[in-house]
Chain A
Amino acid sequence: MSRAVSTRRKAITTAAAWTIGLAIFFPILWTIITSFKTEAEAIASPPSLFNFHWTLENYFAVQERSNYFRHFWNSVVISLGSTLLGLAIAIPAAWSMAFVPTKRTKDVLMWMLSTKMLPPVGVLIPIYLMFRDTGLLDTRIGLVVVLTLINLPIIVWMLFTYFKEIPGEILEASRMDGATLRSEILYVLTPMAVPGIASTLLLNVILAWNEAFWTLNLTAAKAAPLTAFIASYSSPEGLFYAKLSAASTMAIAPILILGWFSQKQLVRGLTFGAVK
């Protein structure tokens, strides 16, 4: 039962929560606003929050100077590619662990998780050298492979927790009714598994999109996704605030939107079911 809360108390909480929420969000808001300013207005003192001449010129400038959309497309290919490949490998694994558990299932799951605990820097050198020798440096396919392996444990785990919630009796019932394995998978299992697969996909696209260790170390100009492209603004271009803001806004906007949809799955996906 919820307690009756006085309006006054609710008003105070509202004011406090909104103040803190806006303060935390402010750097993002400020970046978005600055992206619509001219360079002169972006460093003007005093800075203005809304009262300036709004312009889209930075977005065009960023595209013209550095072919922004190639990097954007690299990000799309790498994050989506690694997630789909990961799902293709993980779905059968998670499915069999959830529905045909053996004595070793728990050990396998824990072991998979332990590979995620390996600090990337511990294997940076061998991976770098292997990529150099096989010509995979600065290629999208190379990054897709690395990010698939990086996120595979999380994908298996998330899928496992979702599949675990599908009642096994339904499968048995459909088998009793004479369903073949094919129709069992197609008409019984898939509809129940799709929401879990969708949220796994969402969270892993976000993680892969923002991954900034391997993308920075294994790419140069050609295959660089947005994480690495934005890093090239570190100096001295970063002092062009309006252009930095425009490039940043475009880089984070798709993920902020996906993030809104995935906030419920976030806790589950990132704590491996340890917090419910």
Chain B
Amino acid sequence: MATQHSRSAARLMISPAVLLLLGWMIVPLAMTLYFSFQRYNLLMPGQGGFVGFENYRYFLSDPAFFSALTNTLLLVGGVLFITVVGGVFLAMLMDQPFWGQGIVRVLVIAPFFVMPTVSALVWKNMFMNPVSGLFAFLAKGLGLEPFDFLAQAPLMSIILIVSWQWLPFATLILLTAFQSLDSEQLEAAEMDGASPVSRFLFIMLPHLSRAITVVILIQTIFLLSIFAEILVTTNGGPGTASTNLTYLVYAQSLLQFDVGGGSAGGVIAIILANIVAIFLMRMIGKNLET
């Protein structure tokens, strides 16, 4: 089998990728960690120095942090709920035979390919605008007062926009899982008199559980870092009503130039993401062995 020679060749081939990623991970991380213990404001050069956990105390006791944390959880949770429930339903529908499957599939997947800034702006201006948006027109047609989505329910509106972007992803993966479902098992259950509800609960849902877990974990990784959608719709406002952790760190460091405080926030964001990552890695790792 593999000779000593091919072993060392293999090591040589793999090392650029490993070294680059190692550098990419360790250097900035170490810097973030270092800055988070420093007094470092870009507007006040020369006032540096070690401050211990001062930045963390400042960041964690900032009322904006608590609301950002809540908003992050609501955003992730809300989008996950909508996309997973909607995705299961849509995938189940699309798994049935019907005319034009290929076209409908393309239509459903399309939002996933729209860049975040485009989808956020299109929704913000052409649909949610309280004066000339399409929703306002529909509301007026029904005799209702137009609703100013992004001013009155900013977080809810962003959840809606992000859900539209991620529903295709959930649907596609769940559809793949549905297609590997053994139809004979379903037929047998049907013949034995199992109702559609119990067929769904006891055959389909257990079969889907793995795919649903993967959808939840992968989406969570991406949803924790939602940024562009907030930047172009609300800028985190009104107040901090739609500021998530990512946006708060951005505002702290690049808008208020507080590198120390922003870095402390970055470290907190990393810790949060890692909690999710551990579970995801365990699932993917298990699959690698089979």
Contacts and interface: CB of A to CB of B under 8 A. Distances in A.
Q: Do A and B come from one complex?
A: yes
Interface of A: 1-3, 5, 10, 13-14, 16-18, 20-22, 24-25, 27-28, 30-31, 34, 43, 45-47, 89-90, 92-93, 95-97, 99-100, 102, 106, 108-110, 112-130, 149, 152-153, 156, 206, 209-210, 212-213, 216-217, 226-228, 230-231, 233-234, 238-239, 241, 244-245, 248, 251-252, 255-256, 258-260, 263, 266-267, 270-276
A89 B16 contact: yes
Report which residue of A20, A238, A245, A275 has the largest number of chain B beta carbons within 10 angstroms of its beta carbon.
A275
Contact of A259 (B29, B110, B118, B287): B110
Contact of B108 (A10, A25, A233): A25
Report which residue of A113, A114, A123 has the largest number of chain B beta carbons within 10 angstroms of its beta carbon.
A123
Contact of B124 (A90, A149, A238, A263): A238
A272 to B, nearest CB: 5
Given A5-B97, A89-B16, A120 B118 contact: no
Interface string B259-277: 1001101110110111011
Given A21-B104, A96-B9, A216-B228, A244 B93 contact: no
A238 to B, nearest CB: 5
A206 B113 contact: yes
Contacts, number: 309
Contacts of A14: 98-100
Interface of B: 2, 6-7, 9-11, 13-14, 16-18, 20-21, 24-25, 27-29, 31-32, 35, 90, 93-94, 96-101, 103-119, 121-127, 129, 132, 134, 137, 140-141, 164, 167-169, 172-173, 176-177, 180, 183-184, 187, 210-211, 214, 218, 221, 224-225, 227-228, 231-233, 245-246, 249-250, 253-254, 259, 262-263, 265-267, 269-270, 272-274, 276-277, 280-281, 283-285, 287-289
A212 B228 contact: yes
B107 A24 contact: yes
A244 B18 contact: no
Given A17-B94, A124-B250, A227-B228, A24 B35 contact: no
B249 A231 contact: no
Given A89-B20, A263-B105, A126 B35 contact: yes
A3 B93 contact: no
Nearest to B221: A117
B173 A267 contact: yes
B281 A113 contact: yes
Given A34-B126, A109-B288, A122 B269 contact: yes
